[in-house]
Structure 1
Amino acid sequence: MKVVPKEQLVDQVGTKTTSDWVTMDQGRINAFADCTEDHQFIHLDEEKAAQTPFGGTIAHGFLSLSMLPKLSEGQGVVPENVMMGINYGMNKVRFLAPVRAGKKIRAHTELVNVDQKDDNRFLLTSSVTVEIEGEETPALVAETLTMLVCA
């Protein structure tokens, strides 16, 4: 994580980062299915899912999306004295390819805009691409919004 004076945050537009790999194992997929009550067979039934074009179970698209906080952990740029970051929403999300159980994903993020709301709040817009290890098509692309609050 790069820390800069508040006055220099806007100068960081264009900063790019890449996260570490995270494995999307079947246990994580099962836990997400239980949390969201989305128990569709393509996520849980390995035998039945093997008969689909996916060739096995896949992570929920929303599971891949929900991994963005983990994938952005320790990444990017923040102003000095930041107290917290708040998920402010998204402008765009597209699920481009399924993530097969056992595959690894990582995020490529670019800071595309900084909007200073007042002396202590900054709205950051980032472009995120979630890569699937060994695959050409990414799992998803998104434009995320994060509100940073400084002391």
Structure 2
Amino acid sequence: MKSILLYICLFILIILNTSSAQIFSDEPVIRVRIIYTLDSLNIIFNDEWTLTQDKSQEEIKIHKEDSLFFSIRGVSILIQSNSSDFINDNNKVILKSENSSSTLKIKNVPYGIGWWWQGIEDRVYEGEIEISINENNKFDVIVSLPLEKLSVRSCTL
């Protein structure tokens, strides 16, 4: 009787181990909305990045120390750089870097909105950055990071 109970326990343990390994074989990605009240953004790049326009998938290389200014024109995103201006015909762009530790600085990020301690400050982020226009005609800025990386960086979000 004891051996049957032992086999049942081992069988359950094996099933639990294999199913949890399958569930977490890919590290979960966490998406955090960091901005939702601004109608303009000033971003300074500390490393090499790529800007992808939502539907066209056209990639634009951004170099270290470049600066981009984003504003809303109708339902489109106007992007101004040091050298040129262009309009993204869609309402979403994505910023990615080949190096997972590459960073960028967003100027004047609001925090504590609606609380007595609210303010603005320049903040440094890494990960994939999605910029889109929300229903209030303001920017939504969403940072996507793997769970393990987010837990290390959570104090800056």
User: Which category of TM-score, normalised to the shorter sequence, fits these structures?
Assistant: under 0.3
Alignment TM-score, normalising by the size of structure 1: 0.26
Higher strand share: 2
Alignment TM-score, normalising by the size of structure 2: 0.25
- Bigger radius of gyration, 1 or 2? 2
